[in-house]
Structure 1
Amino acid sequence: MVVKPFTVDFDKPLVFQVGHLGKGYNEWVHQPIVSKEGPRFFGNYYLELLTRTTWWVIPIVWLPVVSWSVFMSFRTGLTLPQVALSVVGGIFIWTLTEYVMHRFLFHMKTTSYWGNTIHYLLHGCHHKHPMDGMRLAFPPAATAIFCVPFWIMFRLLSPPLVAPALFGGTLLGYVAYDVIHYYLHHGKPSNRLTQDLMKSHLNHHFRVQSKGFGLTSTLWDNVFGTVPSTKDAEKMSNQ
């Protein structure tokens, strides 16, 4: 008996369908649908609402937390140069975190029902519908969950006075990441830096999904050798 491959019905909520794709999920999710109209994730109205986030919500929610964190380090004894250095350190930590999460978590290979489902929620949905403007930014509730282990890590591994500013810098890096991410998909870059970032990121989406994991910079792609080459792009274009 020949079992037909599962087919996703785009007229129905997607999240609990994609797990049934099994081994075919990775190929399916990397065949983008270029439309600003995003799919429905859940049948439940409130769950669906939690998956949609406009880009400007990110700075509104998180910049006050960044300001409070930085102020706490300054208030409890760090000098202004020390606070500034800690914030820059946090931003540097974010750039590495961004790269590692994107490469090893967001692009993990999955075949199981729940593995496919979780991956689709984390990042697969963005590769399938890269122009869905309501799902380019990470929902604040999910970000808050990710913040907890970072705060614990900074408290355990850095001096008490430094930890808040270090955390604030990392969170500031994340805010910049989400805002820049939206801009690279929906903005119109007018200078060389943003044009190069857009080219790199869109290459990652539409040509070489296995490389180009840095978004706010290509620093770590250069360090770890994951900058797409011209041959990579040509190979993917011909497939």
Structure 2
Amino acid sequence: MVAQGFTVDLTKPLVFQVGHLGEAYEEWVHQPIVSKDGPRFFASDFWESLTRTVWWAIPTIWLPVVCWFVFMSYRMGHSPSELALMVGGGVVLWTLIEYTLHRFLFHIKTKSYWANTFHYLIHGCHHKHPMDGLRLVFPPAATAILCIPFWNLVRLISTPSTTPAIFAGGLLGYVMYDCTHYYLHHGQPAKDPARGLKRYHLNHHFRIQNKGFGITSPLWDHIFGTLPPAKTNGKRS
């Protein structure tokens, strides 16, 4: 595609190309290429390897961490029923964070070189290549970094003994989010609610990208009025 005199060469590493699109980046990144073969991001094999993650790495790495943090609150005297409530609250908190990040950060409009580059790395690549199976889940290193502000947020709204379990619930919510996201793109659910959720998410990708920000649930889309309309005139909003 030619934009502002610049052509993106899909046969070469993309990350340091897309910034040159300027204001045309927004249109370019929302014209998906439906292929299971993902593009190359970096010329360096090391940096390229950090961008690719198999889906099963997410539960394998993070579910033991979830269990450990639940056990921390258990050792501080909380009963199983209390732990269940705290973990459930953490999951709900995650769904709000998931919605907020997706709506206000992942879909921020950019036009400068570095803003375009940053957006492409965190989410634009997923809209451009929605079937790239190795870039559907967050790399563990990035998740570990994001756990730090999330832990501090939970500390602000909870007590020392409840913080670990609520944090564990949020982390569990994240694991559910990433696994669900992968399944919605590569699974073939035969029954609702999974079938409806897949339809809901693919609608976000291929019909109206500024609605339907929930992945694990459309709950917050209902609450904040970002449900996609039942029918459109066939044009992308």
Report if TM-score (shorter chain) is over 0.5: yes
SS in 2 for 1:231: coil
What is the TM-score when the length of structure 1 is the normalising length? 0.96
Q: What's the Cα RMSD here?
A: 1.2
- For the 8 Å contact 2:14–2:41, the answer to whether it is kept is yes
CA deviation digits over 1:74-111, x for unaligned, max 9?
11111111111000000000110010000000000000
Q: Post-superposition shift, 1:4?
A: 4.7
Q: Which runs of 5+ in 1 are unaligned?
A: none
1:58 aligns to what?
A: 58
Identity of aligned residues (%): 63
**Is the counterpart of residue 169 in structure 1 residue 169 in structure 2?**
yes
CA distance in 2, matches of 1:198, 1:127: 15
Q: Counterpart amino acid of 2:160?
A: P
Partner of 2:123: 123
The one-character-per-residue Cα deviations of 1:21-64 (angstroms, maximum 9, x if unpaired) are 00000000000000000000000001000000000000001001
Q: Measure how far apart 1:228 and its partner are.
A: 0.6
Matches of 1:179 and 1:152, distance apart in 2: 25
What whole-Å deviation, never above 9, does each CA across 1:152-179 have from its counterpart, x for those lacking one? Answer: 1222331011000000000000000000
| Residue identity matched to 2:234 | K
Residue 193 of structure 2 aligns to a residue in which SS?
Answer: helix
2:235 is matched with: 236
Number of residues of Structure 1 aligned to a counterpart in Structure 2: 235
Look up the match of 1:106: 106
Q: Counterpart of 1:236 in 2: which secondary structure?
A: coil
Q: Give 2:46's aligned residue.
A: 46
More helix by share: 1
Q: How many Å apart are 1:6 and its aligned residue?
A: 1.2
Classify the secondary structure of the residue corresponding to 1:180. Answer: helix
Matched residues in 1 for 2:192 and 2:234: separation? 26
Question: Which whole-Å CA distance do the structure 1 matches of 2:28 and 2:6 have between them?
Answer: 11
Paired position in structure 2 for 1:223: 223
Counterparts of 2:184 and 2:155 in 1: how far apart (Å)? 34
Q: Which residue of structure 2 aligns with residue 178 of structure 1?
A: 178
Distance (whole Å) between structure 2 residues aligned to residue 175 and residue 5 of structure 1: 42
Alignment of 1:70-219 (within 5 A): 70-219=70-219
Map of 1:25-40 to 2, 5 A cutoff?
A: 25-40=25-40
Q: Which runs of 4+ in 1 moved over 3 A?
A: none
SS at match of 2:203: helix
